[in-house]
Amino acid sequence: MAVKTLVQKIKVKERRYNEDIITVKELMDMLAIGKNTAYQLLHDGTIKSFRIGNNYKVFRKSVLDYIYSHQ
């Protein structure tokens, strides 16, 4: 039963990375960076995002553009 639950969680996480908008936590996971670095990239406008209340939402395409521009 525990294995099935784990597999379901992994599938949900994989599906989330295919969405157009991600969270700061997902940004941190994608780039393997810390919270301070992630927020610095957002504040600088290096990675495009917007806020809903106190929560940042990040455009996945902007993250991919950032990755490709730093190859």
Q: Given CA atoms 52, 57, 59, 63 in this order, what sign does their dihedral have? A: positive
d(CA 19, CA 31): 16
* Confidence at residue 70, expressed as pLDDT on a 0 to 100 scale: 83
- Is the pTM here over 0.85, yes or no? no
d(CA 37, CA 43): 10
Model confidence band, residue 18 (pLDDT cutoffs 50, 70, 90):
low
Could you tell me the residue ranges of all domains in the chain? 20-69
Q: List pLDDT tens digits, range 19-68.
A: 789 999 999 999 999 999 999 999 999 999 999 999 999 999 999 999 99
CATH code of the domain occupying 20-69: 1.10.10
Residue 4 reports pLDDT greater than 60: no
* Confidence at residue 6, expressed as pLDDT on a 0 to 100 scale: 47
